[in-house]
Amino acid sequence: MEIGYQFEPLHKEEITHSQLVRYAGASGDFNPIHTVVPFAESAGLGGVIAHGMLVKGFVGQAIGQWFSTKDLVKFSTRFRAMTRPGEKITVQGSVVDETADRWICQAEAVNEAGEVKVKSSFEIKKR
């Protein structure tokens, strides 16, 4: 591991409406903008949007492939763009800095067109 190291990207399958319903039940976030198309349209969103935390969950999955999540000490995420059913997300990341006892890393979730959906920074305890 060193500064500049690029992690193996995580390629997720296409997000489906069913997945959003399932995520709503699992997380307990039943805001209808994620599951009820007429409601999301009336909110001016042009259809349902994925829970930001689902996309953060994809980043969490990637971190679990790159490191042991037991070493994860901080995980911040900024939600940048809406994600919709039909989109395929890839999570990519790299090591950007280090301290005596931590790796400072960044990750982003992008769609097939390269649009950044979420940007995360996270810190890993060095072993």
Partner 1 sequence: MSTGLKEKIGMKLETYTFKVEAGKVKELALAIGDLREEYLNGEAVLPTFPTVIDFWGGGASTSDLLGLNVKKVLHGEQEYEYLGEIKPGDEITVTGVVEKVYTKAAMNFVILKKEFVNQNGETVLISRSTVIERH
- Binding stretches for partner 1 (CB under 8 A): 12-13, 19, 22-23, 25-29, 31, 33, 42-44, 51-54, 56-58, 60-61, 63-64, 69-70, 72-79
CB of 98 to partner 1, least distance (A): 18
Rank residues 70 and 113 by Cβ distance to partner 1 and give the closer one: 70
CB of 113 to partner 1, least distance (A): 21
| Residue of 104, 110, 99 whose CA lies nearest to 74 | 104
> Taking Cα atoms as reference points, which of 35, 63, 38 lies closest to residue 50?
35
Q: Which is nearer to partner 1, 4 or 66 (CB)?
A: 66
Q: Please report how many Cα atoms fall inside a 13 Å half-sphere around the Cα of residue 27, on the Cβ side.
A: 19
Looking at the Cβ atoms of 33 and 105, the one nearer to partner 1 is 33
**12: closest CA among 121, 117, 122?**
117
State the Cα–Cα distance between residues 61 and 116, nearest whole angstrom: 17
CB of 112 to partner 1, least distance (A): 17
